[in-house]
Each structure stands twice: as structure tokens, then as C-alpha cells.
């Protein structure tokens, strides 16, 4: 069995397995028709990477590709506190928790169109560069920062896919990334923006360095054309006010390079950025992303990539069956539990 077919089997196993995913577990499930050594060699091969991911999803992507597609880029941290520290499994600041955690930090380019989301590229943060901090401690940093990875993912998408808008949160909403999208790959963006940003109300005021706080503008329910520092083109900004689940009120500032969009269009399109959050939730809950005892960066990345490919299978099943990823996973686990229960009854019968 070649690597492609073995990956196909392994990805099915990641959807089916209720807990920890292991080479011995997969082999036992298949009645040892595939040895655990063969599965381990597959994970250790080093060929299951972002390029392998793209080759695996390429045909599916081209079926859903159109000029109205969306490219959503975001990063996430999966905590692995009990895994040995390495260049891949290291310490990262998790903004969602407000603290530093040990785990894997990865960034994904997610293509969304026709109600389907497909990861087309992934970057893993590897801290291999020695660095002495202000306290004299030796620490390690990544050779490339996240903004460089972000633009590399954009280059990959630009070469291979049709899409109209790039969506991302405020973390990546800097002038370098905006200029890259508009000038280098000739696309538009819709991004979240921090409330402390300064804007100029005209090109002339920008040239004079006269900026005002975005918070001073009346933006709720409407758009205003402004100039941001570092950009030679105007953008539209707006503010969306919404209620949180706990009843509190939240505010979201948005910026887009497409001057033809209305407020409702901007907020509707940007709302689809949530697809990348659903992707993160699904691989962590439904495709055993973090549930592998792999020890080396190579085997860990192989497992992560196959987990992402399992997500694509769930996307296809969702379209075919009309059920969410979580519903499909629960259906599988329910049948597994029934089978296990029947086996308990058989063993308990005198």
C-alpha cells in the first residue's frame, strides 16, 4: 500500500477513533492487515507536509473555485502540556487564554466557497533560532515571523486559486499585509481592526500627518472612506455593534480595500471568517488533532496534516448528509458504543 492510500486509511481512522490515535490501535482495528511499523514509517517519512496537503485537496478545490471565493487566514495554538519540548512543541503566548502555553502553533489558509471550506496550506511555527532576551536568558525564536508566513500562504493561494477577498482578524491587519494583498496579488481584503488605529480623512491630511482616532468617527451602521498610515490607497472603515452571549455589548471595527461595498455587504462577508474558527474546533474535537503520542516534529506534523485531511472528508460528508461535523462524529461514536455494549452483553452471558 502506497503512502497516499495509507494516509486515506489513517484519516478515516482519525474520524472514527473516540480517543487516543495510535499506530498499534489502527493496526489492531484492521486485524493487523497493516502493521503498526508500516504506519509509523508513513508518519516518519517526512513527505506529509503542506505540499502533500495541497496535492491531496487540489481536485476538490478546483471543483469549488470561483472568482467569488474567500481566503481566510488565521492561526491557532493547540496546547500539549505533557508532550516533550521541541522546536515544534514549544512555548507560545495564547491571546485567548492570556498566558503562555506549551503546544503547537499553526497557521492555515482556508478556502471557502459554495458552503464548503478546504484548508489549502498550513504553516507550523518552529522555534529554531537562538536568541538572548533582555534578562540574559537563552530562548529560541522562529526563523520567520507570522506575517511572513501569512504572505507565503497568500502567494500559494494566488498561484493556485481564484478568490476575491482575503479575510483575517486584527492581528494581521497591518500596512505591510494590506499593501501586499492590493499591490502584489491584486485582491481585496476585509479585516478586523483594533480600536486604537489612527486615520486621515483625506490624502492631503495624510500627507500632512494629521490623523485622528478611529473611535472619534460615527461609524455604526455606515462606512467612511479614510487613509491609514503606510497605505497609498483609500479604504472603507465601519463599526459593527453586537450583543455577546452574556448580554454585554461588543464592538468590531472593520476595514476593506473594496470601496464599492456597502456596510451590510462588509459585515456579511466578514462574518464568514467564523468558518476558520469552526475548522479549528472541528480538527481538535472530531479528527484527533491533538490525540496522538507521536514524539518527533516530523511524525507530529504528519499526524496534524492527516488530521486536517480528515476535516476535508467531514466537509464532504456534511454536504452529502446534511449533518454537521459534530453530528457525524456523534453518530459514529453512538454506533461504536452500541457495538461495544452488545459485546459486553455477549461476554457477560453464561
The string of pLDDT tens digits covering residues 103-118 is 999 999 999 999 999 9
Kindly tell me if the per-residue pLDDT of 1 is higher than 80. no
Closest listed residue to residue 203, CA positions, set 237, 226, 174: 226
In this prediction the pTM is 0.94
Burial class (CB in 10 A: 0-12, 13-18, 19+), 226: buried
170 within 8 A of 270, measured Cβ to Cβ: no
Q: Helix or strand or coil: residue 180?
A: helix
* Distance separating alpha carbons of residues 337 and 315, to the nearest angstrom: 24
Chain centroid to CA 177: 17
Kindly tell me if the per-residue pLDDT of 250 is higher than 90. no
Q: Helix or strand or coil: residue 171?
A: helix
Kindly tell me if the per-residue pLDDT of 244 is higher than 90. no
Kindly tell me if the per-residue pLDDT of 254 is higher than 80. yes
Closest listed residue to residue 129, CA positions, set 147, 145, 153: 145
pLDDT digits (tens, 9 = 90+) for 166-223: 999 999 999 999 999 999 999 999 999 999 999 999 999 999 999 999 999 999 899 9
* Distance separating alpha carbons of residues 38 and 26, to the nearest angstrom: 11
pLDDT score, position 210: 95
C-alpha cell at 305: 496534516
Residue 115 Cα distances to 279, 320, 325, 329, 339, angstroms? 13, 12, 14, 19, 34
303 within 8 A of 291, measured Cβ to Cβ: no
* Distance separating alpha carbons of residues 271 and 13, to the nearest angstrom: 33
Percentage of residues of the chain with pLDDT beyond 90 = 88
Alpha-carbon torsion angle 215, 220, 224, 228, nearest 10: 40
Amino acid at each position: 500500500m502506497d503512502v497516499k492510500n495509507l494516509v486515506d486509511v489513517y484519516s478515516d481512522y482519525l474520524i472514527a477513533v473516540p480517543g487516543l490515535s495510535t499506530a498499534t490501535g489502527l493496526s489492531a482495528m484492521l486485524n493487523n492487515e497493516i502493521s503498526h511499523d508500516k504506519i509509523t514509517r508513513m508518519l516518519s517519512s517526512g513527505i506529509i507536509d503542506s505540499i502533500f496537503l495541497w496535492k491531496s485537496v487540489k481536485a476538490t478545490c478546483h471543483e469549488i473555485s470561483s472568482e467569488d471565493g474567500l481566503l481566510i487566514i488565521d492561526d491557532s495554538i493547540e496546547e500539549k502540556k505533557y508532550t516533550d519540548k521541541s522546536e515544534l512543541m514549544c512555548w507560545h503566548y495564547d491571546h485567548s487564554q492570556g498566558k503562555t502555553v506549551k503546544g503547537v502553533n499553526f497557521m492555515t489558509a482556508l478556502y471557502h466557497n459554495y458552503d464548503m471550506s478546504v484548508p489549502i496550506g498550513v504553516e507550523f511555527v518552529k522555534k529554531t533560532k537562538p536568541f538572548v532576551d533582555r534578562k540574559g536568558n537563552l530562548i529560541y525564536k522562529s526563523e520567520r515571523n507570522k506575517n511572513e508566513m501569512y504572505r507565503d500562504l497568500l502567494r500559494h493561494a494566488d498561484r493556485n486559486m481564484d478568490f476575491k477577498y482575503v479575510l483575517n482578524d486584527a492581528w494581521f491587519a497591518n500596512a505591510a499585509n494590506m499593501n501586499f494583498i492590493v499591490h502584489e496579488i491584486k485582491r481585496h481584503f476585509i479585516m478586523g481592526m483594533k480600536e486604537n488605529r489612527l486615520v486621515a480623512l483625506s490624502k492631503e491630511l495624510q500627507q500632512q500627518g494629521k490623523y485622528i482616532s478611529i473611535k472619534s468617527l460615527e461609524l455604526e451602521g455606515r462606512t467612511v472612506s479614510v487613509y491609514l498610515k503606510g497605505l497609498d490607497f483609500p479604504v472603507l472603515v465601519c463599526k459593527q455593534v453586537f450583543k455577546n452571549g452574556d448580554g454585554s455589548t461588543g464592538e468590531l471595527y472593520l476595514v476593506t480595500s473594496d470601496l464599492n461595498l456597502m456596510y451590510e455587504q462588509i459585515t456579511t462577508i466578514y462574518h464568514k471568517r467564523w468558518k476558520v474558527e469552526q475548522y479549528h474546533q472541528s480538527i481538535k474535537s472530531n479528527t484527533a488533532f491533538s490525540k496522538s503520542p507521536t514524539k518527533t516534529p516530523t511524525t507530529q506534523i504528519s499526524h496534524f496534516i492527516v488530521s486536517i485531511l480528515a476535516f476535508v472528508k467531514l466537509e464532504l460528508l456534511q454536504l452529502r448528509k446534511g449533518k454537521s461535523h459534530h453530528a457525524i462524529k456523534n453518530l459514529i461514536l453512538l454506533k461504536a458504543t452500541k457495538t461495544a455494549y452488545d459485546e459486553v452483553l455477549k461476554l457477560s452471558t453464561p
